[in-house]
Amino acid sequence: MLSLYFFIDPSATAFFPKCPFLSFTGIYCPGCGSQRAIHHILQGQIITGIRHNYMFLLVTVVLGYQAVIFVITKFGTKTYNNLLHKSKMTNTILVLVILFWILRNIPYFPFTELAP
């Protein structure tokens, strides 16, 4: 699947699906711009990719943390508690996503920088 995003630019073709939430409401969802972000990141254009969807920073940190905890727990001798499985962390991430969702739809600078 990633090879499709590497070779095909989602903004230059209708091959990839459009965001249904944006199509129906005209409002950007937290995931809007993710396909373009993946394409640019795979092309080595990290900053351009992140600018399409800043949530990729949070996703990268969360997935990286999950991977490290998994490897340490699986292959190490000590078991670590996953902080992401705590309700406070889950609620914090939820608040960040909702806040991002709201702020990226405000049509005034600097919030327009959050739009894809």
- Per-residue pLDDT tens for 13-70? 888 888 899 999 999 999 999 999 999 999 999 999 999 999 989 999 999 999 999 9
Domain assignments of the chain as residue spans, ordered by start = 2-114
Q: Cα(first)–Cα(last) distance of the chain, in Å?
A: 22
Are 66 and 82 in contact, with CB atoms under 8 Å apart? yes
Percent of the chain topping pLDDT 90: 65
Average pLDDT of the chain is 90
Percent of the chain topping pLDDT 70: 100
Query: Which pLDDT belongs to residue 13?
Result: 82
Max alpha carbon distance in the chain (Å)? Answer: 52
